[in-house]
């Protein structure tokens, strides 16, 4: 079973159609699975470089600031103690990795679920060619014919250099190549616009590249 979507040119005329395989664009979305994959992706994007010095790393003398008894002050053993001004930080952040292990089958199943959700709402669009010559204004007009919604995801092939150069500086859409499309970018977008070449390359991947939802389990 497959689904058909019209292919339009830059002027908005229908010039053909593309069959979307149901195993990619018409599956039941697994919400907990998508949530886990997106959470892991956002966590992996964190730099994890925050660092605070503890009492052993800050500069300062190791000498006792004043004698133990007789001054009326609370006893102190070091000017580098956390309660002192310019002292070290207790339990502060240290460099760490926020990466989570996410099986490839889960990542691909989440992508299938999000693409299917957009397809059911008729928010998957295909354009034959964005531009014949580099032109940001003309390219934006070509992809914007499909939707005026705020968040637009444009997917191109790696070999479509003119389309990439035309849209890479556009601020009102997100540009990505077809082998980097992911569940988070699809979820964040209101509409997804593929070039005809990009979507044909995407759907002709080997069958092993698409995970069956029945093979994926959400870890507790």
pLDDT, tens only, 69-91: 999 999 999 999 999 999 999 99
- Percentage of the chain surpassing pLDDT 90? 82
CB 146 within 8 A of CB 191: yes
- Bridge partners, residue 127, by sequence: 8, 195
Does any domain span residue 57? no
What pTM does this model have? 0.80
pLDDT of residue 220: 39
> CA-CA distances (angstroms) from residue 115 to 34, 84, 119, 204?
11, 55, 6, 16
Does any domain span residue 202? yes
Beta strand pairing call for 2-8 and 124-127: parallel
pLDDT of residue 132: 87
Does any domain span residue 39? yes
pLDDT of residue 213: 42
> CA-CA distances (angstroms) from residue 99 to 40, 47, 48, 116, 202?
7, 10, 10, 27, 27
Does any domain span residue 18? yes
Does any domain span residue 119? yes
Does any domain span residue 50? no
pLDDT of residue 205: 75
Does any domain span residue 77? no
> Whole-angstrom Cα distance, residue 9 to residue 175?
18
**pLDDT one-digit tens code per residue, 148-187:** 899 999 999 999 999 999 999 898 899 999 999 999 999 9
Q: For the CA atoms of the chain, what is the radius of gyration? A: 27
SS3 17: strand
**pLDDT one-digit tens code per residue, 112-147:** 999 999 999 999 999 999 988 899 999 999 999 999
- In the sheet with 152-156, reading across from the earlier edge strand, the strands are 14-21, 2-8, 124-127, 191-195, 152-156, 174-177
pLDDT of residue 202: 93
> CA-CA distances (angstroms) from residue 44 to 101, 126, 140, 186?
10, 31, 31, 18
Q: What is the mean pLDDT of the chain?
A: 89
Q: Which residue has the tokens 């999000």?
A: 114
Domain count, the chain: 1
Average pLDDT of the segment spanning 213-218: 44
CB 80 within 8 A of CB 127: no
CATH number of residue 31's parent domain: 3.40.1370.10
Whether the per-residue pLDDT at 208 is higher than 60: the answer is no
Does any domain span residue 13? yes
Domain of residue 141 covers 2-45+99-215
């Amino acid at each position: 079973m497959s689904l058909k979507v019209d292919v339009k040119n830059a002027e908005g005329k229908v010039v053909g159609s593309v069959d979307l395989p149901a195993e990619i664009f018409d599956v039941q979305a697994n919400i907990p699975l998508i949530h886990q994959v997106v959470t892991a992706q956002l966590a992996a994007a964190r730099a994890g470089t925050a660092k605070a010095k503890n009492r052993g790393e800050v500069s300062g003398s190791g000498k006792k600031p004043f004698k133990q008894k007789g001054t009326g002050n609370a006893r102190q053993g070091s000017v580098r103690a956390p309660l002192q001004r310019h002292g070290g930080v207790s339990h502060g952040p240290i460099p760490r990795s926020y990466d989570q292990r996410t099986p490839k089958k889960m990542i691909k199943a989440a992508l299938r679920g999000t693409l299917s959700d957009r397809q059911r709402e008729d928010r998957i669009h295909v354009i034959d060619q964005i531009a014949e010559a580099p032109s940001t204004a003309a390219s934006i007009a070509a992809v914007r014919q499909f939707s005026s919604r705020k968040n637009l995801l444009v997917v191109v092939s790696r070999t479509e250099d003119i389309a990439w150069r035309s849209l890479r500086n556009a601020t009102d859409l997100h540009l990505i190549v077809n082998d980097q499309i992911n569940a988070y970018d699809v979820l964040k977008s209101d509409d997804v616009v593929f070039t005809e070449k990009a979507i044909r390359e995407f759907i002709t991947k080997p069958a092993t590249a698409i995970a069956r939802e029945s093979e994926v389990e959400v870890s507790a």
